[in-house]
Every structure is written in C-alpha cells, then in structure tokens.
Structure 1
C-alpha cells in the first residue's frame, strides 16, 4: 500500500475500500461508514489529488496514473466500492487487476459518462461549461456541481448543505486536478472492455439521477458478461446521484447481501 494516499480505517475483517467522486473527499461516506464497518475493515481513501492525498509532482495528471496510484494504495485484496468518478476508477482496477478484488460495486457511475444519441449520460455541454467556469471560480463551480448531484432528491437542500460541510472540512483539490477529473469524465470510455470483467459486480443507480440517468443501466447490462455474478443491480427509488446519502438504509440493504455473498470463505 502507498502511504501518500490518505485513508481512515474502521472495523475488522475483510477489507472494504470506498472511493469518492469528482471534487470531493472520503468524508462523503460518513452516512454509511458505521454500517460498513459491521461487515469488515473499511478504508475510506482520499483519491490522489483530492482532500489530504496530494497528487505526486512527478506524475502526469492522467486517468491511467490515477488508477495506478489508487491500485497501489489498496490492501492486497478487498471489496472495492466506487461512486461516480470513483466508480470509473474502480471499474478500471477491476479490469486491470481482478485478482486484487473480492467484488466491485459502482454507485451512480457509468463506463462512459457523456450522453450521445444512443447512450444516456451527462450532456457534453454541461461538462464543457463546468470546465470553462473552473478557471474563473473553481470553488463555486464545485458547489454548482454538488447542487446538480442532489437535483431531484427528496431532501436535496439538506444533502447539499451536508456535502459542502464534508467537502470544506478538508483541503480542496487544485484547479489542475479538478480540470483533469472533468476531462476524465468527458473522455474515458471503458465500454469496449466491459465484456472482459471477471469480478462479481453490483451496480447501484439513483432513479432520479440527473448526471448518470438510470436509463443507462440496460445499456451497460448488454455490454457485461451474462454471468449472474456480473448482473447484480439496484435502482434506488427516491434518490438522485448519491443514494448512500439520500437513503443510507436502502443502499445498505442492497449492498450487504452482495458483499456477504462474495466474501472470502
């Protein structure tokens, strides 16, 4: 494991690692960390470049490097859970180093984030607008992105307020890191490789998600292996982009049996 990646560890047993999304940090998992710790030893990581994990000065800001640095920070084997951009990183690790994972869970994530006529996703002009605004006022741009994430959730205002508190409790990512992260969301495409995924996979979607539309779920299913272990899915009914914040108990009710099913014997 690499020491430059910040982590908080809680619980004992099988290792469970959670990865946050763009612009945020490990605090985002606060609503479910106690429940996760009942299932194993939970590692909340600040992704390289975010929170208290500085981006190494000698490494280029690329998706490949982000994944390699994150992989190097993982325990020898774990359940890996990634939200949004963190789900993209977790998926690449699942493809790149399946022997390191008991299972893979992606939350409000997609193998390809931008929308096209045939693929539900984030409208490219939204990502482009955020990228343009970053250079002018990156703090406000991140806040706007948070608001978009909670759009449609029953307690959106409370969710946004809480997420902001978690965000600003740690150092903000630099504009360069944030810009590179937006570029990853706009360009990384793992769809051609999904058929090669061999680790058990659970995909969680928010029915009200404005960033990763739930409609993408069926498209992803068709790209995955048809094995039962690759086709676990949960649609959170009253949630937008952060189901584990909007409905922690519903989220855990879907996640717990999956982690237990694929726990090492």
Structure 2
C-alpha cells in the first residue's frame, strides 16, 4: 500500500496513487459509489502499468482521504429512492469536473479514462464536458441513467446496509456485500475483501458522504442525449450476471455512444474477479493503444 498524495483540483483535494512510469501514457481509474480507490486492486493497477501505462487511481470526493463535504449535510435517502427529491448537494457533473481538475493538477493534457460503476457514470460525464481531454474512454459495469439496469432488490438491500462501526464489521460487510453482487462464475476472494474493508475503515468512514454520492447518481440527468454526440473511442465492459447495474446498463451505454464496442463476460458480476484480469487488462490496453494510433494517424 502506497502513501497517497493530495492533488488540489480547485474545488476539492483528491487523494491519489500512481503505478508505473510517468513517461508512459496516463491512464486514470475512477471508482464507484461508497468505494475508495482501494476498490481497484493493486495487482490490477500494476498489470495495467506493466502493459505500458502510467496508472492513477484516486478517492472521489466524500470518500477515503479526499475532501469530505460535511457542510452539505446528509440528503434524505428514502425520499431520493422514492423519487420524492429532485435535488442533491452536487451531481455527477461536479465529480466529472473534479476528475478533469485532477488531470490539470497532475499535468495530464489528455488521458485514457476508465470508470467502474458510478465511476463509469463519471467518466461518461467527463467525456461530454471535457471531450478534448480524452484519448479513449472505457465504461465498466455502468449505465447512462439511474433508471436503466437498476439493481435487483437483493443488490439494493446490500448497498443500503448500515455503516460499519469497527474495522472487523467493515471486513464482514465487504464480504457479505460481494457475496450478493460479486461474480457467481468465479471464486470470491474473501481475504482481499476483508483486507480492503478493514483498510477502508481505517482510512475514513463517512455515511453522509456515501449518501451524497448516491444522491448525485439518482439526481443526475439521463446522459444518453449527450453521449450521442461523443467521438472519443469507447469500450464498454459488463458482466452478464451483474445484479447491481444489470446488463441493460452496459447495452444502453454502448447503444448511446457512436461506434462504442461492448464486451460482455459470462459469470461476471459487479466486481473484478482476478481470473479475468488478463482479459480485462488486455481489452483496456488494446483499446487504449488503438485509440492512440488513431490520434497519431
């Protein structure tokens, strides 16, 4: 585990870590709701670095060691889920601007951008708001709208589970969550999940921040009209057994973006099973290299 560095984006400070050589093309990883940068496993990040990229992962606002916007309070989650609330303290567009601000802070002119779950929603927003900053876009297990590919009742229940009050509880919560939303076609890495849960608890625990992130998802507008105008080369990855963002989300994302390519993995749920890393890293790296070649030609 590295010691994170803070980058000032102008609005918030984002904690980040880097893998690989700064001389290689930058590839930025954006994580999902309620999950710190640790959700991108070290080995997965290193595999991308070994494929020839300068890999950066970071904590979004309101999670981990990045800025927590405590003064914004906690939205009414039940009202949000019931459709009774139409506003949120911030939207996914604001988190996209955070991400673009990270590019500036790190001196990245253009990047390969990869987002998972809510991170996929954020990178879609980055592509719409800052299209000149991207060489390639990869959206993993995500959706263009909170209304498309909505979670199963069982998956939504674990997402709304009470926050842990100890590192041990956090470890068990991580395992219990991924027993529901993880990949049924692959073994569950309980040892890694427990370690991630414990370390996440030690770094920061902020239930209100998680609700603000959920509010951003639920209150952000449908991205399909904006995605239809994109020209950035786009790869969409989804598991056919994902209960948290069901496969309709991936198909809708690919359908919305001109020229996007959809890759679906049997037995993959809402996680990154280690046996699939060679294929996932290979797809992301080849997509990035192809996009780089198109820019150069």
Whether the aligned pair in 2 keeps the contact of 1:127 and 1:182 (CA below 8 Å) is no
The reply to whether residue 121 of structure 1 matches residue 150 of structure 2 is yes
Whether the aligned pair in 1 keeps the contact of 2:239 and 2:267 (CA below 8 Å) is yes
Aligned equivalent of 1:198, options 231, 246, 261? 231
CA gap of 1:28–1:193, structure 2 versus 1, over 3 A, is: same
CA gap of 1:70–1:55, structure 2 versus 1, over 3 A, is: farther
CA distance in 2 between partners of 1:259 and 1:51 (Å) = 28
CA distance in 2 between partners of 1:223 and 1:63 (Å) = 18
Q: How does 1:106-117 map onto structure 2 within 5 Å?
A: 106-114=139-147
CA distance in 2 between partners of 1:77 and 1:238 (Å) = 34
- 1:151-188 Cα offsets, whole Å, 9 max, x none, are 524212x2x54234224314234111111222233343
CA gap of 1:124–1:113, structure 2 versus 1, over 3 A, is: farther
Aligned equivalent of 2:53, options 40, 56, 63? 40
Determine which structure has more spread, i.e. the larger CA radius of gyration: 2
Q: How does 1:20-31 map onto structure 2 within 5 Å?
A: 20-29=31-40, 30-31=42-43
When structure 1 is superposed on structure 2, of 2-11 and 249-258 the one drifting more is 2-11
CA distance in 2 between partners of 1:201 and 1:71 (Å) = 18
CA gap of 1:47–1:120, structure 2 versus 1, over 3 A, is: closer
Q: What are the ranges of 5 or more consecutive residues in structure 2 without an aligned counterpart? A: 1-6, 73-88
Deviation for aligned residue 1:127: 4.1
The reply to whether residue 8 of structure 1 matches residue 17 of structure 2 is yes
Aligned equivalent of 2:257, options 205, 209, 224? 224
CA gap of 1:76–1:124, structure 2 versus 1, over 3 A, is: farther
Whether the aligned pair in 1 keeps the contact of 2:62 and 2:213 (CA below 8 Å) is no
Whether the aligned pair in 1 keeps the contact of 2:158 and 2:177 (CA below 8 Å) is no
Deviation for aligned residue 1:234: 1.2
CA distance in 2 between partners of 1:209 and 1:129 (Å) = 14
Deviation for aligned residue 1:77: 1.3
Aligned to 2:207: 175
CA distance in 1 between partners of 2:59 and 2:287 (Å) = 24
CA distance in 2 between partners of 1:41 and 1:207 (Å) = 30
- Please report the TM-score for the alignment, with normalisation by the length of structure 2: 0.74
The reply to whether residue 52 of structure 1 matches residue 58 of structure 2 is no
Q: How does 1:79-90 map onto structure 2 within 5 Å?
A: 79-90=112-123
CA distance in 2 between partners of 1:104 and 1:254 (Å) = 12
Aligned to 1:150: 182
Deviation for aligned residue 1:240: 1.1
CA gap of 1:79–1:111, structure 2 versus 1, over 3 A, is: same
Deviation for aligned residue 1:78: 0.6
- Please report the TM-score for the alignment, with normalisation by the length of structure 1: 0.83
Deviation for aligned residue 1:10: 1.9
Number of residue pairs matched by the alignment: 254
- 1:183-203 Cα offsets, whole Å, 9 max, x none, are 233343212322012211100
Cα RMSD (Å) of the superposition?
2.8
